Protein backbone atom coordinates (compact mmCIF):
# COMPACT_ATOMS: atom_id res chain seq x y z
CA UNK A 1 0.00 0.00 0.00
CA UNK A 2 2.79 2.47 0.81
CA UNK A 3 4.30 1.66 -2.61
CA UNK A 4 1.12 3.00 -4.23
CA UNK A 5 0.81 6.09 -2.05
CA UNK A 6 4.19 7.44 -3.15
CA UNK A 7 2.76 7.88 -6.64
CA UNK A 8 -0.03 10.12 -5.42
CA UNK A 9 0.45 13.87 -5.45
CA UNK A 10 0.79 14.46 -1.73
CA UNK A 11 -0.18 18.13 -2.10
CA UNK A 12 -3.45 17.19 -3.78
CA UNK A 13 -6.83 17.91 -2.29
CA UNK A 14 -8.62 15.25 -0.26
CA UNK A 15 -11.90 16.62 -1.57
CA UNK A 16 -12.79 19.44 -3.94
CA UNK A 17 -14.97 22.39 -3.00
CA UNK A 18 -18.67 22.43 -3.80
CA UNK A 19 -17.98 25.42 -6.05
CA UNK A 20 -15.46 23.40 -8.13
CA UNK A 21 -17.96 20.55 -8.42
CA UNK A 22 -20.80 22.84 -9.53
CA UNK A 23 -18.70 24.68 -12.12
CA UNK A 24 -17.25 21.44 -13.52
CA UNK A 25 -20.63 19.75 -13.82
CA UNK A 26 -22.29 22.84 -15.26
CA UNK A 27 -19.66 23.04 -18.01
CA UNK A 28 -19.78 19.32 -18.78
CA UNK A 29 -23.57 19.26 -19.06
CA UNK A 30 -23.54 22.48 -21.09
CA UNK A 31 -20.97 20.75 -23.33
CA UNK A 32 -23.20 17.70 -23.82
CA UNK A 33 -26.46 19.64 -24.31
CA UNK A 34 -24.94 22.33 -26.54
CA UNK A 35 -23.09 19.69 -28.57
CA UNK A 36 -26.34 17.75 -28.89
CA UNK A 37 -28.11 20.85 -30.13
CA UNK A 38 -25.39 21.60 -32.68
CA UNK A 39 -25.71 18.00 -33.92
CA UNK A 40 -29.51 18.39 -33.93
CA UNK A 41 -29.15 21.42 -36.21
CA UNK A 42 -27.41 19.10 -38.68
CA UNK A 43 -29.88 16.23 -38.28
CA UNK A 44 -32.25 15.87 -35.31
CA UNK A 45 -31.77 12.12 -34.86
CA UNK A 46 -27.99 12.58 -34.63
CA UNK A 47 -28.51 15.26 -31.98
CA UNK A 48 -30.62 12.89 -29.88
CA UNK A 49 -28.08 10.07 -30.31
CA UNK A 50 -25.23 12.39 -29.28
CA UNK A 51 -27.16 13.58 -26.24
CA UNK A 52 -28.19 10.08 -25.14
CA UNK A 53 -24.74 8.61 -25.73
CA UNK A 54 -23.05 11.47 -23.87
CA UNK A 55 -25.31 11.24 -20.84
CA UNK A 56 -25.12 7.43 -20.62
CA UNK A 57 -21.33 7.51 -20.89
CA UNK A 58 -20.81 10.37 -18.44
CA UNK A 59 -23.33 9.32 -15.81
CA UNK A 60 -22.86 5.56 -16.07
CA UNK A 61 -20.25 3.74 -18.09
CA UNK A 62 -17.31 6.07 -17.50
CA UNK A 63 -18.07 6.13 -13.78
CA UNK A 64 -17.48 2.39 -13.63
CA UNK A 65 -14.52 2.01 -15.99
CA UNK A 66 -12.71 5.19 -14.89
CA UNK A 67 -13.72 6.08 -11.35
CA UNK A 68 -13.57 2.58 -9.91
CA UNK A 69 -9.77 2.73 -9.67
CA UNK A 70 -9.53 6.37 -8.68
CA UNK A 71 -8.28 7.65 -5.32
CA UNK A 72 -11.42 9.80 -5.16
CA UNK A 73 -13.80 6.81 -5.43
CA UNK A 74 -16.50 7.54 -2.84
CA UNK A 75 -15.13 11.08 -2.35
CA UNK A 76 -15.90 14.49 -3.80
CA UNK A 77 -13.49 14.84 -6.72
CA UNK A 78 -13.61 17.87 -9.05
CA UNK A 79 -16.93 16.64 -10.44
CA UNK A 80 -18.14 14.51 -7.48
CA UNK A 81 -18.20 11.53 -9.86
CA UNK A 82 -16.26 9.54 -7.26
CA UNK A 83 -19.39 9.66 -5.10
CA UNK A 84 -21.56 8.67 -8.08
CA UNK A 85 -19.20 5.81 -8.92
CA UNK A 86 -19.44 4.46 -5.36
CA UNK A 87 -23.15 3.87 -6.01
CA UNK A 88 -22.30 1.60 -8.98
CA UNK A 89 -19.19 -0.31 -7.99
CA UNK A 90 -16.61 -1.04 -5.32
CA UNK A 91 -13.32 0.77 -5.18
CA UNK A 92 -10.50 -0.87 -7.07
CA UNK A 93 -6.77 -0.21 -6.98
CA UNK A 94 -5.91 3.40 -7.83
CA UNK A 95 -2.49 2.28 -9.02
CA UNK A 96 -4.35 0.65 -11.96
CA UNK A 97 -6.12 3.90 -12.83
CA UNK A 98 -6.17 4.45 -16.59
CA UNK A 99 -4.37 1.16 -17.26
CA UNK A 100 -4.77 -0.79 -20.48
CA UNK A 101 -7.40 0.36 -22.91
CA UNK A 102 -9.13 2.70 -20.45
CA UNK A 103 -6.91 5.72 -21.21
CA UNK A 104 -7.49 5.55 -24.98
CA UNK A 105 -11.23 4.97 -24.45
CA UNK A 106 -11.49 8.13 -22.34
CA UNK A 107 -9.51 10.20 -24.83
CA UNK A 108 -11.53 8.85 -27.76
CA UNK A 109 -14.82 9.56 -25.97
CA UNK A 110 -14.03 13.17 -25.03
CA UNK A 111 -12.32 13.81 -28.36
CA UNK A 112 -15.39 12.67 -30.28
CA UNK A 113 -17.69 14.59 -27.94
CA UNK A 114 -15.79 17.71 -29.04
CA UNK A 115 -15.09 16.94 -32.71
CA UNK A 116 -18.42 15.46 -33.83
CA UNK A 117 -20.46 18.64 -33.14
CA UNK A 118 -17.73 20.85 -34.61
CA UNK A 119 -17.58 18.81 -37.83
CA UNK A 120 -21.35 18.44 -38.15
CA UNK A 121 -21.83 22.11 -37.30
CA UNK A 122 -19.49 23.19 -40.10
CA UNK A 123 -21.25 20.87 -42.55
CA UNK A 124 -24.62 22.23 -41.42
CA UNK A 125 -23.45 25.83 -41.92
CA UNK A 126 -22.16 25.00 -45.41
CA UNK A 127 -25.43 23.27 -46.33
CA UNK A 128 -27.69 25.98 -44.97
CA UNK A 129 -25.95 29.14 -43.75
CA UNK A 130 -27.32 30.70 -40.61
CA UNK A 131 -25.89 33.24 -38.18
CA UNK A 132 -27.62 31.31 -35.38
CA UNK A 133 -25.65 28.17 -36.28
CA UNK A 134 -22.41 30.15 -36.13
CA UNK A 135 -23.36 31.53 -32.71
CA UNK A 136 -24.13 27.99 -31.49
CA UNK A 137 -20.79 26.71 -32.85
CA UNK A 138 -18.87 29.51 -31.15
CA UNK A 139 -20.78 28.91 -27.91
CA UNK A 140 -20.02 25.18 -28.09
CA UNK A 141 -16.35 25.85 -28.82
CA UNK A 142 -16.05 28.24 -25.85
CA UNK A 143 -17.71 25.71 -23.51
CA UNK A 144 -15.35 22.93 -24.67
CA UNK A 145 -12.35 25.25 -24.31
CA UNK A 146 -13.37 26.24 -20.78
CA UNK A 147 -14.13 22.67 -19.70
CA UNK A 148 -11.42 20.67 -21.46
CA UNK A 149 -8.54 23.12 -21.31
CA UNK A 150 -8.85 25.95 -18.80
CA UNK A 151 -10.83 24.30 -15.98
CA UNK A 152 -9.15 20.93 -16.50
CA UNK A 153 -5.68 22.38 -16.07
CA UNK A 154 -6.78 23.99 -12.81
CA UNK A 155 -8.52 20.92 -11.38
CA UNK A 156 -5.73 18.56 -12.46
CA UNK A 157 -3.15 20.73 -10.71
CA UNK A 158 -4.88 20.04 -7.37
CA UNK A 159 -5.60 16.34 -7.96
CA UNK A 160 -3.95 13.57 -5.95
CA UNK A 161 -4.10 11.36 -9.08
CA UNK A 162 -2.26 13.76 -11.39
CA UNK A 163 0.87 11.57 -11.56
CA UNK A 164 -1.14 8.40 -12.24
CA UNK A 165 -3.78 9.79 -14.59
CA UNK A 166 -3.02 9.36 -18.31
CA UNK A 167 -5.25 12.37 -19.09
CA UNK A 168 -3.85 14.76 -16.50
CA UNK A 169 -3.29 18.27 -17.78
CA UNK A 170 -0.86 18.98 -14.95
CA UNK A 171 2.05 16.56 -14.56
Query: Which DSSP string do the residues of 117-136 spell out, in sequence order?
Result: HHHHHHHHHHHS--HHHHHH
Q: Which tens digit of pLDDT belongs to each residue from 28-61? A: 999 999 999 999 999 999 999 999 999 999 998 8
In sequence order, what are the residues at sequence separation of 6 or more whose Cβ sits closer than 8 angstroms to the Cβ of residue 169?
149, 152, 153, 156, 157
- Is position 54 within any domain? yes
Q: Number of structural domains, the chain?
A: 1
Whether residue 1 is predicted with pLDDT greater than 80 in this model: the reply is no
Q: According to DSSP H, which parts of 7-101 are helical?
A: 18-42, 44-56, 62-65, 81-88
- Is position 133 within any domain? yes
Whether residue 76 is predicted with pLDDT greater than 80 in this model: the reply is yes
Mean pLDDT, residues 3-25:
84
Whole-structure pTM over 0.85, yes or no?
A: yes
Q: Rounded distance, CA 104 to CA 109, Å?
A: 8
pLDDT band at 65 (very low <50, low <70, confident <90, very high): confident
Report which DSSP code applies to 21.
H
pLDDT band at 4 (very low <50, low <70, confident <90, very high): very low
pLDDT at 6: 52
- Is position 171 within any domain? no
pLDDT at 159: 94
- Is position 45 within any domain? yes
Whether residue 3 is predicted with pLDDT greater than 60 in this model: the reply is no
- Is position 86 within any domain? yes
pLDDT at 58: 92
* Structural domain containing residue 150: 2-157
Q: Rounded distance, CA 97 to CA 94, Å?
A: 5
Q: Rounded distance, CA 8 to CA 61, Å?
A: 25
Q: Quote the mean pLDDT of the chain.
A: 91
pLDDT at 43: 97
- Is position 164 within any domain? no
- Is position 165 within any domain? no
- Is position 75 within any domain? yes
Amino acid sequence: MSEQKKDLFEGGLEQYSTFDVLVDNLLIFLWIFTGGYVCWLFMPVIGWIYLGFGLIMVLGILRVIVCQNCYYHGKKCHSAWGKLSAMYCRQGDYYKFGAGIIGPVILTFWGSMALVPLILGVISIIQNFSLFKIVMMVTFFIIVLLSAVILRKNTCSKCKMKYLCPGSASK
